Amino acid sequence: MNAPTPRPFSALLHAQRVWDTELPDFDPATAPPAPLPLFHAWFADAVAAGQPEPHAMTLATTDADGLPDVRTLLLHDADARGFHFASHATSAKGHQLAARPYAALGFYWPSLGRQVRVRGPVTRCTPAESHADLHARSTGALAAALTGTQSAVVESVAALHRAADAAWERARAEPDAEAPTWTRYVVEPAETEFFQGDARRRHIRLRYRRTETGAETGAWTRELLWP
């Protein structure tokens, strides 16, 4: 019996649907004066809606040639300082942030048709905060931090497995083990945009821009954008 002929990629792509569910309303007139409370509320909504991994986000940086680079990682906190994440300072993203300490973040919660975009300067937390960040997480997270040199070339999958097995053993035996290059970073938002999708494509985009002049330093300007 012959196997079915695979569908052309374009046909498969265009057969996919977007937001086949009832989406929430968002009235930007009711939005708070600063973006953090709205982010907290939208995150809680995503959790309540059963959105898988709502704390997953994309992180965009630029390399030595000014070219964009992007990857997905996890949010570690969102507070008055900004949006927290962690990585090795010796990784590709760590080198890029050391040279150009500015980044963009993207969150996407399709169960609600919502996106949040953040841009701003990046600062490194103290070694004590970075140590606490790593050891507040799971044994697996510690083992991953102790495995090899992030972003470096590894000669084989077997070598990766050997290093990972050794790291797991060390993480179990030494739960307070140091990972000297592990670093917690904070993106201080200069801009934060909230996107609420609409089935009729009347999407709502609300952008907050930080005011940096005069008596309004630390305040936010809110702007409604065309979708």
User: Can you give the pLDDT at residue 176?
Assistant: 86
Instruction: Give the model confidence (pLDDT) of 177-227 as tens digits.
Output: 888 899 999 999 999 999 999 988 899 999 999 987 444 456 999 999 999
Between 150 and 219, the more confident residue is 219
Residue 80 has pLDDT above 70, yes or no: yes
Statement: residue 168 has pLDDT above 60: yes
Span of 21-25, 49-53, 116-120 with lowest mean pLDDT: 21-25
Burial (0-12, 13-18, 19+ Cβ within 10 Å), 198? middle
pLDDT given for residue 1 in this prediction = 63
- What is the pTM for the complete model shown? 0.89
- Taking residues 49-71, what's their average pLDDT? 97
Task: From 86, 88, 97, select the one nearest 63 (Cα to Cα).
Answer: 97
